Structures are given as structure tokens and as C-alpha cells.
């Protein structure tokens, strides 16, 4: 696709509903629109400047806030008051980022490890949402300046692995910046749109979108047919990107000059200086063989081979993710018709070579990898504006979603890799007579027992009218909307009592965690089966104890003293078995209790029948 570098400051633009596409990136952000005349997506830029706005915010002592290139200058001179990579903090707790805390030269607040992180600058505290809002506000103002028209509506992209909390935080940032966020779109989905793949309805193809940006990595496999984009699988790592390449280079140099990690930690200016030069070297080596610069009494040098060696393990990780994505989709590399390259880091020749080597074909890199996502977001914005009604976008859920049922078991309502938007519902009932409340606990994960999965939310359906156990019909429904946000509702169908919740988990899962959860579900499959069988046996045992107790309370007259004792003994034995981990023991005790109580049930039935007959006048 031809890239059109254009300044649309003509004043002739009078589109009623201008919706812009925004790529809110970890390193850089930008805005794109569909050009009103050429109908092509274009990234907005002022004159000869770059379309990219560094995702950096600087705060000065007087309270002035600078965003973008101007703020980036302060990374070196005023690192404590300069916030970069805020996207990495979106929807995260300190615990989530603690391993990477040394990466941030500004102060990330860590006094309460469980709550969402805040950044302290001077005596002020900012949430990642507020920091992102500063960037979005700057983008909005720039767009308005270039387009000479108010910009109030936007489509914003997020990495495919962003969870509900992170998507919501992004949406909130948009709102704070004065934008009506019409849709949150996955970056790989936008990228494929930017390549125009699928616009020809006759085309049927399977593609891989490899997105290596500054801070995140995503691989997504898309099946495109009849103008429908379907994400078959996604994989990735939200802590892997070009920033890590920079860090590898910094490590190489500091090692060379005997500068300890501790020294670097103490001296923010030195650290940032190295970081900026490492990035410069990396970019330079995309087009040259050797880099060299004199700085602080040192000559920093790097050649392409050394650089390739430093980043080989990082590239290897992305290839491993690609392998997992293929396995998830049930595909092999040969099934992929084309590969789309996204993100500034895909300019690194070693990255291109590794990816094309893995898939066995040349990669697509004709669209500027820094702009491709924003251009796709502009196309999505155009679709939402009603200009391209034929397209439908489908995404998927990375992990299964379900609720806790009896015995702490996970009951999956929406399986992993389900296409979204999606809906699912199932009926449940009460365990106790007259039970007025029912707790709904929502979990995410692949394991059979909820304790091994991740709790997303919990709420109670209150005010269920008194009914015998098993009679209420509680319909629990899950709805994942097009933004990937989960809405859970519970409704008692007989009474109409209803309760719902929008699931905004407190913190996000890193890709590594998602991977670990999947891996655990495979390694623990056998244990899980046994645990499930034990949990089911316990539930059955508890139910039988309950029923027997109820029966005895009502029909004690029908049992002899001996029978009463035998029953009490069998019940006790079962109760004891329930406290142990032996499924077979529980089952045998259930069997014994059944043996004893079966005749009572027949007797009770006879009594009821004869009672009914007696009551009748013959
Ligand atoms: P993005 O998040 O897509 O904006 O990607 C930004 C990342 O791409 C940063 O880590 C940049 O250092 C990196 N990058 C930009 N240009 C180049 C280049 N020419 N060669 C290597 N990496 C680059």
C-alpha cells in the first residue's frame, strides 16, 4: 500500500463525523485518518516532522506538562520527572511489575503491593490512566491543529493480550482526554486491515501478524474469508520488545567498562545516557554494519554480528511464542500464506530473517511498521463511521472463563480461544432449603479446581424467594462485548431477581502468566482429573448426608432403634471419609449408607401411599 505523506491543513475538510484511529504505543503513539479525498489511510504529521509522538510525559517544577519529543529530551536531564513506557503500567499492580521495577527511572509507588500502581512526580501522584490521558490529549490537540476541525471520536488500539482491566484503563484514558472511544481494537487486527487484506471479499487467506514494538510482542494468526477477519489464536509477551534490545546493548557496554548494575541504578543520568545511545546504535545497525560514538570518556562501539548475538535469545522467545500460536490454531508454518510485520523493532534485519526463516517465506514489510497499526485503526474508524459496512471483526479470548460450582470446581462457560463478541449461559440452582443468596465467583484459567485459576470477580445474587433446595432456576450469563470486556449476570428465573457485574479485574496477567497457566493445565491434567473426581465424590457424599438427615428428621417413627444406630454410624463414617483425600473410601461409605437407607425410602413410600389411601373415602 502506498504511504501518503500529507499535511491536510487545507481547511477544506468538512467531514461531519471525523473519527480518528489512534495507536497508543509503549514507545510512540500516533493518529491516522482516512484521507477525505484519496480515501487512503494516512498518518497525521505536521510538515516535515515525524508522525510519531514519543509516549513520554515530563513534569516541570511549575506544574507544566510536556508530551512527546519535547518530553523525551528530559529522559536524560531530568529522569525522575520524566515518565516513559507508562503503557506497561496500565491496569497493573506493583506486584505485577516488581520484577521490572528497576527499568523505570521515575518513582513507581510500591507501598501497597496489591493495589494499582501510581507514579510519583514531585509531590503529585498519577495513575497510568492519567499519564496515558496526557498523551492522548496531546494527540487530540495535534490532530485538531492539523485537520482544523474538532476531534472528539476515536478508535484506540491495544495489544491483543490486554485484559479487561487494561482495556478499560485505556478507554478511561480516552475519556479523560476528552475523547469518545468508539472501539478498542487489537493491534494485530488493525495491522491486517492496514494491509488491505480481506477487503477483496473473494480472498481467502491465513496470515500471521508479528508485532514487535518497543515494549510488547504479539503474534496473531488470522483467517480471512468473505471479508471476515477471524483471529485463530494469539500469543506473545507484554515484557518483550525493542526496549529489551536496548537493555541488552547497555549491559554489553557497562560490562565492557566495568560499570556495575548498582552504579547504574544510583546514577539515573548515566543509565538514561546509555539507554539512548544503545537505541541509537540499534537503529543505526538496521542499515549499517558498525556503530561507534565517543561519550563520557568512552568510545561506545557495536557491530552487527555482536548485536545479533546479544538479541538472539530475545528473538528466540518470539519464535517460541509463534510456535505456540501455530499449535493453538492447529496449524503448521506451511499453512500461513503471508506474514505481516508490525512495530519499529521489526526493522532489525535479524528479526526479519528469523521470522521468515521460521515461517519459510518472505515477510511483508512494505507499510511503515510504526504506522501500520494506526492506519488500520483509521480503517476501523471508517467502518464504524458507516463507510464500510461489509467488514466484521472477530477476536478471541486467551483463557477460559467460568464460575465456581460445588466442591470448588471450575465450570467453564466460555472456553479459551472463543471468538468474541460472544455470549454463554447456564442454569444453576441452590443447595439449601430457603437459600436466599447465591454467590457467583468468576474465574479465568484452564484448571479443574478454581483455586488453581485466577479469580476475576465475585458478587451475590440476593433476594431469591424461599424455596426448597434445587427449585430456584438461576441463569448465569456471560457476555464478552466487542472490546473484550466481560459482563456477568445472574437471574433467578422464577422470581425475576437479577444482579450483574462488569468484570474489571484489579490487575492484569502478563503473557508469561497466561502461558504458565496453560502449561500448568497440561502438566497437571492427571492431578486435576483426580482432584475433580474427589471433589465430585465429596459433593455427592454431602448431598446424601443432607438428604438422609432430612429424611430422619421427618420420618423417625418409621425406623427401629437399631436402624437408627446403624444409620448414625454409617453417616458418621461417611462424614469422616469426607475429611480425607480418598475418593474410593468416600464412594464406599456412600454405598454403605445407601445400603442401609434404601429400605427406609421404600417404607416411607409405602407409608405415604397407604396414608393417601386411608385419607380417601372409598
Ligand atoms: P513501536 O512500539 O512500534 O513504536 O516500536 C518502537 C521500537 O522500535 C523502539 O524500541 C525503537 O527503538 C525500535 N525501532 C525504531 N526504529 C528502528 C530501527 N530502524 N531499527 C531497529 N529498531 C527500531
Q: What is the mean pLDDT of each run of 10 residues along the chain (618 residues)?
A: 28 55 94 92 90 96 93 88 91 79 79 76 92 97 94 91 83 92 86 81 87 89 76 85 95 94 88 92 97 91 98 98 95 96 96 98 94 94 70 63 91 83 87 90 89 86 90 90 80 90 57 70 78 86 87 83 90 91 90 86 68 42
Q: By three-state DSSP, how is residue 43 classified? A: strand
395 is catalytic: no
Dig out the grid coordinates for 267 from the structure.
546514577
State residue 612's pLDDT score: 46
From first CA to last CA, the distance across the chain in angstroms is 93
- 521-525 long-range contacts (CB < 8 A, ≥24 apart) are 521/445, 521/446, 521/447, 524/447, 524/452
Across-strand partners of 57? Answer: 67, 83
Output the CA 245–ligand 1 centroid distance in Å. Answer: 10
Q: Which is catalytic among the residues 45, 78, 87, 130?
A: 87
Q: Are the CB atoms for 440 and 476 separated by under 8 Å?
A: yes
Read off the pTM: 0.63
Q: Are the CB atoms for 19 and 174 separated by under 8 Å?
A: no
Instruction: Decide: 54 in ligand 1 pocket, CB within 6 A.
Output: no
State residue 114's pLDDT score: 62
Q: Are the CB atoms for 177 and 136 separated by under 8 Å?
A: yes
Q: To which residue does cell 504479539 refer? A: 218
CA distance 415 to 232: 14
CA distance 95 to 474: 36
Tell me: cis bond preceding 421? Omega within 30 of 0 counts.
yes
State residue 445's pLDDT score: 86
Instruction: Report which protein residue has its CA nearest ligand 1's atom 1.
Output: 213
Is the C-alpha dihedral spanning 245, 372, 131, 165 positive or negative? negative
CB atoms within 10 A of CB 462: 11
Instruction: Decide: 187 in ligand 1 pocket, CB within 6 A.
Output: no
State residue 6's pLDDT score: 30
Q: By three-state DSSP, how is residue 380 classified? A: helix
Q: Are the CB atoms for 309 and 109 separated by under 8 Å?
A: no
52 Cβ contact partners less than 8 Å away, ≥ 6 residues apart: 28, 29, 30, 370
Output the CA 344–ligand 1 centroid distance in Å. Answer: 3
Stretch (H or E) spanning 237: strand 228-237
Dig out the grid coordinates for 69 from the structure.
519529543
In the chain the domains, ranked by start, together with CATH numbers, are: 19-195+368-384 (3.30.420.40), 196-366 (3.30.420.40), 401-521 (2.60.34.10), 527-613 (1.20.1270.10)
- Residues 169-201 as b/e (b if ≥16 CB within 10 A, e otherwise) read bbbbbbebbebebbbbbbbbbbbbbbbbbbeee
Q: Are the CB atoms for 346 and 216 separated by under 8 Å?
A: no
73 is catalytic: no
Q: Which is catalytic among the residues 164, 172, 211, 395?
A: 211
- Residues 301-326 as b/e (b if ≥16 CB within 10 A, e otherwise) read ebebeebbebbeebbebbbebbebbb
Output the CA 214–ligand 1 centroid distance in Å. Answer: 6
Amino acid at each position: 500500500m502506498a504511504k501518503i505523506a500529507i499535511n491536510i491543513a487545507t481547511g477544506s475538510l468538512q467531514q461531519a463525523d471525523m473519527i480518528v484511529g489512534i495507536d497508543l504505543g509503549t514507545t510512540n503513539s500516533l493518529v491516522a485518518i482516512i484521507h477525505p479525498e484519496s480515501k487512503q489511510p494516512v498518518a497525521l504529521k505536521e510538515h516535515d516532522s515525524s508522525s510519531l509522538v514519543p509516549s513520554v510525559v515530563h513534569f516541570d517544577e511549575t506544574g507544566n506538562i510536556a508530551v512527546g519529543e519535547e518530553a523525551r529530551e528530559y529522559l536524560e536531564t531530568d529522569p525522575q520527572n520524566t515518565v516513559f513506557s507508562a503503557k506497561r503500567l496500565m491496569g497493573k499492580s506493583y506486584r505485577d511489575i516488581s520484577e521490572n521495577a528497576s527499568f523505570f527511572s521515575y518513582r513507581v509507588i510500591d507501598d501497597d503491593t496489591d493495589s494499582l500502581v501510581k507514579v510519583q512526580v514531585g509531590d503529585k501522584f498519577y495513575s497510568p490512566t492519567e499519564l496515558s490521558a496526557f498523551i492522548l490529549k496531546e494527540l487530540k490537540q495535534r490532530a485538531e491543529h492539523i485537520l482544523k476541525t474538532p476531534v472528539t471520536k476515536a478508535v484506540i488500539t491495544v495489544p491483543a493480550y490486554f485484559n479487561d482491566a487494561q482495556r478499560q484503563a485505556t478507554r478511561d484514558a480516552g475519556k479523560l482526554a476528552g475523547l469518545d472511544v468508539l472501539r478498542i481494537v487489537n493491534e494485530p487486527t488493525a495491522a491486517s486491515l492496514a494491509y488491505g487484506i480481506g477487503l477483496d471479499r473473494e480472498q481467502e487467506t491465513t496470515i500471521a501478524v508479528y508485532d514487535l514494538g518497543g515494549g510488547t510482542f504479539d503474534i496473531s494468526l488470522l483467517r480471512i474469508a468473505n471479508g471476515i477477519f477471524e483471529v485463530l489464536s494469539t500469543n506473545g509477551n507484554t515484557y518483550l520488545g525493542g526496549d529489551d534490545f536496548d537493555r541488552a546493548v547497555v549491559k554489553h557496554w557497562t560490562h565492557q567498562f566495568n560499570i556495575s548494575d548498582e552504579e547504574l541504578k544510583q546514577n539515573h543520568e548515566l543509565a538514561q545516557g546509555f539507554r539512548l545511545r544503545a537505541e541509537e546504535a540499534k537503529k543505526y545497525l538496521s542499515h549499517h554494519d558498525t556503530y561507534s560514538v565517543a561519550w563520557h570518556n568512552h568510545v561506545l562501539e557495536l557491530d552487527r554480528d555482536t548485536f545479533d548475538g546479544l538479541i538472539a535469545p530475545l528473538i528466540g522467545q518470539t519464535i517460541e511464542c509463534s510456535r505456540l500460536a501455530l499449535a493453538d490454531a492447529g496449524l503448521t508454518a506451511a499453512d500461513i500464506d503471508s506474514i505481516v510485520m508490525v512495530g519499529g523493532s521489526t526493522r532489525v534485519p535479524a528479526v526479519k530473517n528469523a521470522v521468515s526463516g521460521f515461517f519459510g517465506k518472505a515477510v511483508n514489510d512494505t507499510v511503515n511498521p510504526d504506522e501500520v497499526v494506526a492506519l488500520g485503526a483509521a480503517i476501523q474508524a471508517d467502518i464504524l463511521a458507516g463507510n464500510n459496512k461489509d467488514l466484521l471483526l472477530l477476536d478471541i479470548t486467551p483463557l477460559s472463563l467460568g464460575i465456581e460450582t460445588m466442591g470448588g470446581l471450575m465450570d467453564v462457560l466460555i472456553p479459551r480461544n472463543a471468538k468474541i463478541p460472544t455470549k454463554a449461559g447456564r442454569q444453576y440452582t441452590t443447595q439449601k432449603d430457603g437459600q436466599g443468596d447465591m454467590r457467583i465467583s468468576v474465574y479465568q484459567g484452564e484448571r479443574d479446581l478454581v483455586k488453581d485459576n485466577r479469580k476475576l470477580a465475585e458478587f451475590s445474587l440476593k433476594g431469591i424467594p424461599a424455596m426448597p433446595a434445587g427449585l430456584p432456576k438461576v441463569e448465569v450469563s456471560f457476555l464478552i462485548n466487542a472490546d473484550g470486556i466481560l459482563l456477568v449476570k445472574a437471574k433467578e428465573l422464577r422470581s425475576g431477581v437479577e444482579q450483574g457485574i462488569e468484570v474489571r479485574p484489579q490487575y492484569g496477567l502478563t503473557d508469561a502468566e497466561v502461558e504458565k497457566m496453560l502449561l500448568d493445565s497440561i502438566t497437571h491434567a492427571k492431578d486435576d482429573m483426580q482432584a475433580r473426581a474427589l471433589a465430585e465424590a465429596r459433593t455427592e457424599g454431602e448431598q446424601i448426608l443432607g438428604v438422609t438427615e432430612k429424611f430422619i428428621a421427618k420420618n423417625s417413627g418409621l425406623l427401629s432403634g437399631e436402624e437408627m444406630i446403624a444409620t448414625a454410624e454409617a453417616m458418621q463414617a461417611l462424614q469422616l471419609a469426607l475429611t480425607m483425600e480418598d475418593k474410593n473410601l468416600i464412594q464406599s461409605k456412600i454405598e454403605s449408607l445407601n445400603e442401609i437407607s434404601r429400605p427406609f425410602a421404600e417404607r416411607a413410600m409405602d407409608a405415604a401411599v397407604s396414608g393417601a389411601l386411608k385419607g380417601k373415602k372409598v
